[in-house]
Copies of this chain bind each other. A is one copy, B any other.
Amino acid sequence: MARVTAAQRREQDAGAGYNAFVEACPSRKLLDRISNKWVALILAALGSDDAHQPDSACAGGPRAMRYSELARLLAGVSQKMLTQTLRSLERDGLVTRTVVPTVPVTVSYELTDLGLSLYGMMRGLKAWAEAHMDDVLAHREAYDTRLA
């Protein structure tokens, strides 16, 4: 693991200036997991039925969704990443994966209570994004035009 080695070397270099922010900290690992690109979207999809109406504050309520349903809704996720992300979420106890032995095998994913509490956090983040979206866009345009 070259990364850990490099980080540790740099840590010795700096002279133990941090107790946190270090890669080994579990909180940071969890933050990395949370801040995965698709995790947020899957949580938003599972957490609210109609997750993106700006007027309805994600009030659709949590519901179970099937694999293909998620794949359709997310509209840009590859099947590989969807499966991979769902597995990691299941591993972390954020979603449950239930195989329903219907005519073709159906798999439904649902948020656990833990995932639901995380979804609450995500909702706040999404609210922030929707509230400050135009601010950020304005800053971005100003920055881009400033350096022509």
| A residues apposed to B, CB below 8 Å | 3, 6-7, 10-11, 13-14, 17-23, 25-28, 30-37, 39-41, 44-45, 51-53, 72-76, 90-94, 114, 117-118, 121, 124-126, 128-130, 132-133, 135-140, 142-144
Contacts and interface: CB of A to CB of B under 8 A. Distances in A.
Residue with the greatest number of chain B CB neighbours at <10 A, chosen from A17, A21, A44: A21
A137 B10 contact: no
A83 to B, nearest CB: 15
B117 A31 contact: no
Contacts of A45: 21
A72 B36 CA distance: 24
Contacts of A17: 72-73
